[in-house]
Amino acid sequence: MALLNILNYPDKRLHKIAKPVDKVDAEVRRLMDDMLETMYKAPGIGLAAPQVGELKRVIVIDLAREDEKPQPLRMANPELIAVSDEDAVYNEGCLSLPEHYADVTRPAAIKVRYLDHENEIRELEADGLLATCIQHEMDHLEGILFVDHLTALKRNMILRKLLKAKKSQQPVSA
């Protein structure tokens, strides 16, 4: 397994639409495992392939706490096949927008169809943080970041702060 580099805003690849995988073969399985290792190290609870520069419709998630047995979910080509009318609000973060959090409103419960790591079609019903996290990761496959759900004022505040922090990390040229 290998650690991958997580792209940060304003990398243009974060705004691209990812392509479906034909099947979950050894190469896609390897990507899923590398993404899980990268996510655990970050640490995070989810990761989408575009965040590591791979424009493929692949996401991984694990909501288990550090003191619990890992419960990794590997999904390729995830599709929402049902969403609740009821919404839920969660204070979301993103490994590509580090250290910024904001309340995002999304459907409270979902049903998702996907290919698992053995190329089997599966369906999963989710609510709570799992539903939020699946929707957050699926947004990445469409080039959408959680800040795109906020008002322009809140979004620009976060994005300006991220650009300022990035600038201050760059060496001053002579």
Binding interface with Zn ion (CB under 5 A)? 94
Give residue number: closest CB to ligand K1U. 44
Residues 6+ apart with CB under 8 A from 49: 18, 31, 35, 55, 56, 57, 58, 59, 140, 141
CB 73 within 8 A of CB 122: no
Q: Is 161 helix (H, G, I), strand (E, B) or coil?
A: helix
Shortest separation between residue 140's beta carbon and Zn ion, angstroms? 6
CB 146 within 8 A of CB 101: no
- How far, in Å, are 35, 95, 101 from residue 153 at the CA level? 32, 21, 15
DSSP conformation class of 19: B
Shortest separation between residue 140's beta carbon and ligand K1U, angstroms? 6
Choose, from 37, 125, 137, 142, the residue flagged as catalytic.
Answer: 137
Cβ-based nearer residue to ligand K1U, 25 or 103: 103
Structure tokens of 62?
Answer: 């694990």
Binding site for ligand K1U (CB under 6 A): 43-48, 90, 92-96, 132-133, 136-137
The one of ligand K1U, Zn ion, none whose footprint includes residue 28, by CB under 5 to 8 A per kind, is: none
Cβ-based nearer residue to ligand K1U, 22 or 103: 103
Cβ-based nearer residue to ligand K1U, 71 or 173: 71
The one of ligand K1U, Zn ion, none whose footprint includes residue 62, by CB under 5 to 8 A per kind, is: none
3-state helix, strand, coil in the chain (%, to 5): 35, 25, 40
The one of ligand K1U, Zn ion, none whose footprint includes residue 131, by CB under 5 to 8 A per kind, is: none
Cβ-based nearer residue to ligand K1U, 29 or 100: 100
120 catalytic, yes or no? no
Active site residues: 137
